[in-house]
Structure 1
């Protein structure tokens, strides 16, 4: 044990902070010393209110875990991928979890805490940003923090052997640490400390570098009331801290000597490098006034203390420490939660830490909640951890904070391991846990080819050859001028540049010296696509019109790729035009044509731009609103306003719909609605394929939606933005083509949702605004001129009756296997549109109104407006004529079919 004086001493930078190493430490008895613990509310902190912690429920026996694979990150660190299956309310749910296993027996790998920007508290940075800044080869997000605070961890933190922040006085908050002799520890810790004046008087320290919070188990509801805290130069914010409900007296100490004292006011400065500020209030401030003076010495001693063993812990004996939440696993079994988990319940992305029974392995765990995974409950997380070998483990900050990055084998930088709840966006947080390597450069162990595994015909892509050494760290092999070959004619390769030639799979091989590597590249053909979409689905049919037409393909496996222009063949119907440099230009319109089509084909797979006399239709710009707009909510305690107001700044002179909300007094899943025209709503008169609007965001991270009731009485909910993650005005475009809404419909309201799960991460107050709502309703123009008619045919009869007039046709409709087939030519002749037959591909392209339908003889799959769909039957050829399934074609083209069994008569109406 040794005494600590806060001033100059031997300095050793810590990786996570870039700050001087902690000075020597002593355990000091605080018996008989006044100990008053502290400050301010913890709104937004998950489960930090005092409560009785429930016992963790036993995990369901139906929870199963399967390892999908593993890959070395660096010597001593392995990335392992898992799939899990859980039974929830009688239904099976699956998801993915990612685990970085660190071998503490390996001398080249280590763990340390990463902190904000530049290693400073109160600065916040993404997990990936901190990893890049500190040179970590892998990392996960860290401790809980008050989202409304400056940016300091709730728990204790030791980085590079330096005590950066002390544990808060909260029950059941566990921490993970690794000792200098590389032993993992999970325990609860308290903090004890004293400052000693030159006259020998002492006062207890309540902590180091702490934000304001509501302590538990003490005599005060405010953490900083009647308390003394040290703030080092790791704390960069001027507020020490903000929202503390206390007025400070502050003391600046440099080189162990008091250089300034500010009575009843904060010092107007950040903490100078190498110095610290003693921040006091109440009884602590009285101590300062009675015993301290400028020019005198001031010393301090402090220690951590295990709540489990009651033993003091020297912070200098720790390599690192990071705070967490409840304990999850103890003794290889699910443990009782050590504090309330009500606010972090549900199925979310999760982050956790644990270690093996022998203390050799540390597990950094991240559970995915994204398009590929359903998240986990805490009890499922306990089951997962015990399944993979965790002996003792705790919960870290999860939900929207859950992030993992890792450096893939042979790569030089870390990348996002999986999409977060916000997609590829990473939330800015206060700290994270990084994995570091100190291995020297070894000999070349292996090489690998990096590049896209999927290409489109005509696409060019660069592939690189990268190597790794005996410690699995990247090593340069490109200087060896590797040789490249491709296995077949699907793709060609030259010096690493691959050109996709035709559909199929090619094997690329690269050789550098004695080492070689191969990878498969799949070139997608039309049969491999699920959809083909054009950035502009409708456009004005006017000479001189120019619109961007980027084309995106989605494969059956879900991969999304931009289609190169060289891979597309365009056909113009109803007008003369061209596509160059990704832009469609209308040169002239054919006489009498009101609807045209620009058909794009990729290896036979089609999609189309529908051009008509009108494209987007303005629906509401809020300049002359003649109906009432009102604020409503679903939850007691939620208040707000919804009104048309005059906007300022960039929209000065314009009126917008403003929706303000305050959900602080509400609970559960909360909604704030801007309701149109009472309960009636406002009509959307025709079939809409897309919706666009301008939205002023408030960075609340809430959910933005619209509610529509269609003409069948069904309510549809339209996601305008899954997360409001922007400030200021932004234009949104929403695809309605797959919504299933039966038009005409009514827009009832637009609204903000704050769901119950992860509510601590989202703002409960805010203001959003709406303007310039438009709908693309091709039927208003492209289908407006389509004929209204009734046509009937009798099975086996070569005649067609249209509006009571009979005429001869050259092929009769038939019934085959309970399906009625007709010649499509006569349908489009009567009801408008066109049908084109391609002898070589056996395809029929049917165009009518806003519909482009591609059928293939003998295939049940068809393509409607660029999306592959499946029918029960396929078109066929009979006696040299092509017949199509009547109900499939008519319903997809918006026609009504009736069947009369007695007379075997089919009637089609529009």
Structure 2
């Protein structure tokens, strides 16, 4: 937008653009590519390395019988509205707006368009032509659809002739502010009911025999002088059945002074033959491309041209049958300057291109699949749409026809267990022209090729083992997907919060079921059956185990389909804690008491155990040396750790475990005795100390296969020393606490 007074691309040298005109396209990444109708394609690009957020591009094929380009206006021509609201309001059966872009420059304060706009020869806005090449619109150039249905960008010659006293005079313009040395005609179609001209001229009011309800090319209006206002500060009203001529400058003043009350004057409106009878035309500027080459009709050194900002343009092909609507987003000081914009449009291979209103007005809307509403496609620089005075629309005139395409999503995808239920959702149905079809549930027909599933609306239940294909039919449209059904998971494992429980305490169990590809199996929660063997307690359908009131051993069993797995559980007699900070119902009291009773780990002098304190590397060395009875602390070899001299209180213990390769040093000859022992390091130490082995399919989400301790963690899991956390993680880098280290040692020692 602008006042009367006064698109993503790589930045490159002009020489390179001339030598390699398609370089801009070569650096583009396509983010979106959608067919909006039979003749309209939408794409959104990102350009590598350029100061551009994104580029949005509508390609409109006028050779398609159902495709047109039209102009869209607010309901009240002299008002403003957002691009998407205008487009959505214009979208009706047989005239679906599938894409739109903002178009006309407009006066920010008043809201009316600044330049010539006409439709079916009717002149909706006379507009102004600016004098300076630093302005966008300094040559009379317009885009429109001519009488032959072709898209056109070219100069125009808008003529307004006044006939008076047997002479003919070219007027300067219509329905706009009169400037110096101009003659302007005001008709009842002016945005205001008065001329609002300054007092430095003369205004002649004419009255016609009939109301002037419109002005159009080829029209002649005639009126007789009703009143003459010379140097008047009063507002001059425009009669509904007449017009006003406003003159300024000595030559025009002389003509006005000659006019007498009752004299007749006629005014003719016309335009050159190229634009006569056009479907519409909309003036803008500057021109950016002509004959396939960069051709910018404004001073490229001016402030407006050098500004890096959001841009909008319309372009046409050489045969005038393809129209391109292009926007460049420019939020956060990004975008293109006018020269870069012209270069980019040349790279698209267009024949001609015309700049449209840019900056904060730059807006593109599209019709998404499944809806007739036009929604925002780009990101306006201000974060939201600006209201504008005119837009250009990509139109599909195709009538709504038979369903052609079904788009759906499934609640879950994968192998199903016999008896499991899943569902699908129809997102939208389109006809062959991409028009949305209103979905009626009564028209949905479900079938399967091998009758291995049953249906209830959009839900389906697996009945038998095997392979099938589900088909969804809706009149003439259908969609399908394959389905594999099994009677049992390939793998079924149990995860437990613990393998020991005190009398009347609780443990939580979950199951992990996967198919032959190790992907999660689809089953209904009620299909997973939990049970307890050995009379050691009970378990709910959700996997919560409650220990009985007697000590003993048994199993928790999980059954899914025809597959059954179990895990051993021990219920222990309630143990009295030896420490003030270990409650009697602590799930690990047995383990802690066992290790402290055997002198493997000790409490503190204040009677506490401090279960949540972290184990250090020296603590680990001491504890391992105590639990491994065959270690002789009097026969150690100095490992020469720089930070563990022979005077260190735990020198012998650290040396002993280092000699056996159980706990290794760190880089540069250090042991780091006070460093915290992580859960991953703990796994490594225990596997080395006890020469553990084994393997399991269970994986932890935070232990990738390339993790340095992945094999050690897998061995601890396979041997039942660790189960990980309930969320499926192991937390390898988390320091190991005294309590958890005690549990791991107890499980190994039993």
Q: Is 1:395 matched with 2:352? A: no
Partners of 1:497 and 1:98 lie apart in 2 by: 40
Shift of 1:120: 0.7
Q: Is 1:125 matched with 2:86? A: no
Which residue of the other structure, out of 229, 247, 251, is the alignment partner of 2:184? 229
User: 5 Å matches for 1:441-456?
Assistant: 441=399, 443-444=401-402, 446-449=403-406
Which residue of the other structure, out of 208, 226, 247, is the alignment partner of 2:174? 208
Q: Deviations over 1:843-897 (max 9, x none)?
A: 9xxxxxxxxxxx9652599xxxxxxxxx99989748646999999658xxxxxxx
User: 5 Å matches for 1:630-649?
Assistant: none
Partners of 2:288 and 2:411 lie apart in 1 by: 41
Partners of 1:298 and 1:119 lie apart in 2 by: 31
Which residue of the other structure, out of 395, 409, 413, is the alignment partner of 2:373? 413
SS of the residue 2:320 aligns to: coil
Partners of 2:183 and 2:87 lie apart in 1 by: 34
- The number of aligned residues is 503
Aligned to 1:366: 327
User: 5 Å matches for 1:559-708?
Assistant: none
Shift of 1:99: 2.0
Shift of 1:98: 1.7
Aligned to 1:81: 43
Cα pair 1:56 1:337 within 8 Å, conserved: no
Aligned to 2:703: 858
Aligned to 1:114: 72
Q: Deviations over 1:511-570 (max 9, x none)?
A: 1233214699xxxxxxxxxxxxxxxxxxxxxxxxxxxxxxxxxxxxxxxxxxxxxxxxxx
- Going from structure 1 to structure 2, the CA distance change for 1:415 and 1:328 (only over 3 Å counts) comes to same
Cα pair 2:680 2:732 within 8 Å, conserved: no
Shift of 1:391: 1.2
Shift of 1:362: 1.8
Partners of 1:272 and 1:497 lie apart in 2 by: 69
Aligned to 2:430: 467
Partners of 2:423 and 2:244 lie apart in 1 by: 60
User: 5 Å matches for 1:698-737?
Assistant: none
Q: Is 1:102 matched with 2:61? A: yes
SS of the residue 1:318 aligns to: coil
Cα pair 2:309 2:336 within 8 Å, conserved: yes
Partners of 2:430 and 2:401 lie apart in 1 by: 10
- Going from structure 1 to structure 2, the CA distance change for 1:495 and 1:454 (only over 3 Å counts) comes to closer
Aligned to 1:179: 146
Aligned to 1:322: 282
TM-score, normalised via structure 2 length:
0.53
The gaps in structure 2 that reach 5 residues or longer are: 7-12, 213-221, 414-420, 462-467, 483-612, 625-647, 683-695, 736-750
Q: Deviations over 1:32-82 (max 9, x none)?
A: xxxxxxx9622xxxxxxxxxxx9998368442346857544445x312315
Partners of 1:98 and 1:278 lie apart in 2 by: 44
Shift of 1:459: 13
Q: Deviations over 1:750-782 (max 9, x none)?
A: xxxxxxxxxxxxxxxxxxxxxxxxxxxxxxxxx
Q: Is 1:435 matched with 2:391? A: no
Shift of 1:162: 1.9
Q: Deviations over 1:118-154 (max 9, x none)?
A: 2513x11111122123335144334453553422334
User: 5 Å matches for 1:440-519?
Assistant: 441=399, 443-444=401-402, 446-449=403-406, 463=426, 465-469=428-432, 473-474=435-436, 478=440, 481-483=443-445, 495=457, 510-517=472-479
- Going from structure 1 to structure 2, the CA distance change for 1:356 and 1:209 (only over 3 Å counts) comes to same
Shift of 1:390: 0.8
- Going from structure 1 to structure 2, the CA distance change for 1:793 and 1:472 (only over 3 Å counts) comes to closer
Q: Is 1:58 matched with 2:17? A: yes
Cα pair 2:410 2:424 within 8 Å, conserved: no
Cα pair 1:193 1:300 within 8 Å, conserved: yes
Partners of 1:294 and 1:497 lie apart in 2 by: 84
Cα pair 2:83 2:385 within 8 Å, conserved: yes
Q: Deviations over 1:348-398 (max 9, x none)?
A: 433211111222222222234579x97445444434433433111122222
Shift of 1:428: 0.7
User: 5 Å matches for 1:697-846?
Assistant: 794=618, 796-798=620-622, 822-823=677-678
Cα pair 2:318 2:350 within 8 Å, conserved: yes
Partners of 1:67 and 1:55 lie apart in 2 by: 22
Q: Deviations over 1:74-109 (max 9, x none)?
A: 45x3123153535559xxx88443223231x44543
Cα pair 2:311 2:327 within 8 Å, conserved: yes
Shift of 1:816: 8.9
Larger relative contact order (Cα-Cα within 8 Å, sequence gap ≥ 6) = 2
- More strand as a share of residues: 1
User: 5 Å matches for 1:884-895?
Assistant: none
- Going from structure 1 to structure 2, the CA distance change for 1:113 and 1:479 (only over 3 Å counts) comes to same
Shift of 1:410: 5.8
Cα pair 1:247 1:265 within 8 Å, conserved: no
Partners of 1:426 and 1:301 lie apart in 2 by: 39
Shift of 1:193: 2.0
Q: Deviations over 1:261-307 (max 9, x none)?
A: 666246476x6778655455565984686355676644212344xxx
Partners of 2:455 and 2:431 lie apart in 1 by: 23
- Going from structure 1 to structure 2, the CA distance change for 1:377 and 1:246 (only over 3 Å counts) comes to same
Partners of 2:617 and 2:327 lie apart in 1 by: 63
Aligned to 1:251: 205
**CA RMSD, Structure 1 to Structure 2 (Å):** 5.8
Shift of 1:227: 2.5
Aligned to 2:519: none
Shift of 1:240: 5.1
Aligned to 2:269: 302
- Going from structure 1 to structure 2, the CA distance change for 1:515 and 1:365 (only over 3 Å counts) comes to same
Aligned to 2:691: none
Which residue of the other structure, out of 139, 151, 155, is the alignment partner of 2:115? 155
- More helix as a share of residues: 2
Partners of 1:315 and 1:385 lie apart in 2 by: 24
TM-score, normalised via structure 1 length:
0.44
Q: Deviations over 1:561-594 (max 9, x none)?
A: xxxxxxxxxxxxxxxxxxxxxxxxxxxxxxxxxx
Q: Deviations over 1:384-421 (max 9, x none)?
A: 43343311112222232222223345643322233333
SS of the residue 1:133 aligns to: helix
Q: Which protein has the larger Cα radius of gyration, Structure 1 or Structure 2?
A: 2
Cα pair 1:484 1:510 within 8 Å, conserved: yes
Aligned to 2:553: none
